[in-house]
Amino acid sequence: MIKAAILTISDKGSKGERVDGTGPVIRKILEDNEYKVEYYKIIPDEMKEIEKELKYLSDNLKIELVLTNGGTGFSERDVTPEATRNVIEKYVPGIGEVMRGKSLEITPKAMLSRAIAGIRKKTLIINLPGSPKGAAENLGFVIPALKHGIEIMVGKASECARK
């Protein structure tokens, strides 16, 4: 099973002023697709704290898939993509492109998402929207390809070509 972590980025959620409705939705999708959620945490929209948490999940816990949610919009406090960019070693543009492209079929507001994805060591980090509906839709668009990509990243698979 692939080890996964969910990191909810929310000022209000981290203070207990808002219930996280998105984390549990992500957890269900992951578990339904045979991922093992080993870590879940809510933290505020603080660049250094997000960076620290992403490094901890990758470097110390060796989580293979980290899904953030929240902090990908236009608000001054939305810094999740910047924090992610600061810690990744390889940018994976296709994931964000697919999420935005497929989401545009649902709403024109999808073009406003700044979500990115990338690899740090042997951890794939993907930014998802903060809303339960948006996170579920976006994860649904990319999850069919993730297992294979993660297996290649960690050295468990090597062939991408079809036979």
Percent of the chain with pLDDT over 90: 95
CB within 8 A of 109, min separation 6: which ones?
Answer: none
pLDDT per residue as tens digits for the range 77-119: 999 999 999 999 999 999 999 999 999 999 999 999 999 999 9
Question: At which residue do the structure tokens 């620290």 appear?
Answer: 52
At 163, the pLDDT band (50, 70, 90 cuts) reads: low
Query: Residue 120 is encoded by which pair of tokens?
Result: 């740090």
Contact at 8 Å (CB) between 90 and 51?
Answer: no
Tens-place pLDDT, residues 10-47: 999 999 999 999 999 999 999 999 999 999 999 999 99
